[in-house]
Amino acid sequence: MIGSSYKKDISKQGVIVLNKAASFVSDRYRLLFAKIDLISRKEDKKVIAITSAVKGEGKTTTSSNLAVIAARDFGKRVLIIDGDYKNPSLAIRFGVKGSLGLLNVISGECDLTQGLTTGPVENLSLLTMGRQVRRGESELAIKGNAHIWTENGIQKILKEARLSFDYIWIDAPPILPLFDMSVISEAVDGIVLVVKTGVTPEAVLSQAVKTLGSNKIIGSVLNCAKTSWKYGYGQYKYKYDH
């Protein structure tokens, strides 16, 4: 039995596809997921990290909306994990309060099933960052992203999750300037890189790609791109390139 349940209206939290299922934006996310799904099934990729070169490029928006689309519209059993210790956003995005999560599972405070929260649509589960473990109980309280991902516990979590889910999306930390993405790259099957148009300098993007290496990169999402399409919704326009 999953430990917590989704209870809050999240219409203003950025998971646009929940409230605009018949919109242009939802269609773009469906197309994006369909392309990722085609590549992933062909190459047997199940655990996928979604990241960006720097903060603020839309990786959490992308991962949250993709998770809903995959579960609701494609019937996939989906788990989305908040993997960004320094800037956990998944609980806020989905309106989850006071639940157990990743930190609590890693520390042994609860098992994976107890740490999960049911999502707002069928087939979707969330593993938020959870309640921070007290310093006396675990070093996780004072360590950062790298420590979480070098923990043996995260490998056990992903191994167990592979048995129950079709896709495990990880809202990963941005690659630059401080975090070594290689520790997450080793734990996942594939990586999707989110790039915000007109914001990310080419040199920064090149460095991020170099840090990741090309063997794990499935593709990229071009966020806030100007298009010639008549219909759109605010700043959310996506293009998938492989």
Average pLDDT of the segment spanning 51-78: 89
Tokens of 214: 């090309």
- Higher pLDDT residue, 38 or 225? 38
Coil vs helix vs strand at 178: coil
The confidence score (pLDDT) of residue 12 equals 41
**Residue 131 pLDDT > 80:** no
Coil vs helix vs strand at 84: coil
* β-pair type (124-127, 117-118): antiparallel
pTM: 0.81
User: Any idea what DSSP says for residue 110?
Assistant: S
Tokens of 105: 């599972």
Count of domains forming the chain: 1
- Higher pLDDT residue, 116 or 202? 116
Sequence-distant (6+) residues with CB within 8 A of 66 are 29, 32, 33, 36, 50, 169
Average pLDDT, the chain: 78
Which pLDDT band, with edges at 50, 70 and 90, does 49 fall under?
A: very high
Which pLDDT band, with edges at 50, 70 and 90, does 133 fall under?
A: low
Angle at 113 between CA 112 and CA 119, to 5 degrees: 110
Residue % of the chain over a pLDDT of 90: 38
At 176, the amino acid letter reads L
Which pLDDT band, with edges at 50, 70 and 90, does 196 fall under?
A: confident
Q: Which domain holds residue 123?
A: 4-241
Q: Which of 36, 100, 101 lies closest to 65 in space, CA to CA?
A: 36
Lowest-confidence pick of 60-64, 141-145, 170-174: 141-145
The confidence score (pLDDT) of residue 21 equals 80
Q: How far apart are CA 101 and CA 59, in angstroms?
A: 20
**CATH number of the domain encompassing residue 116:** 3.40.50.300
* Phi, psi torsion values for 78, nearest 5 degrees: -120, 135
- Higher pLDDT residue, 179 or 19? 19
Q: Which of 104, 239, 108, 79 lies closest to 171 in space, CA to CA?
A: 79
Tens-place pLDDT, residues 148-173: 777 677 888 999 999 999 999 999 88
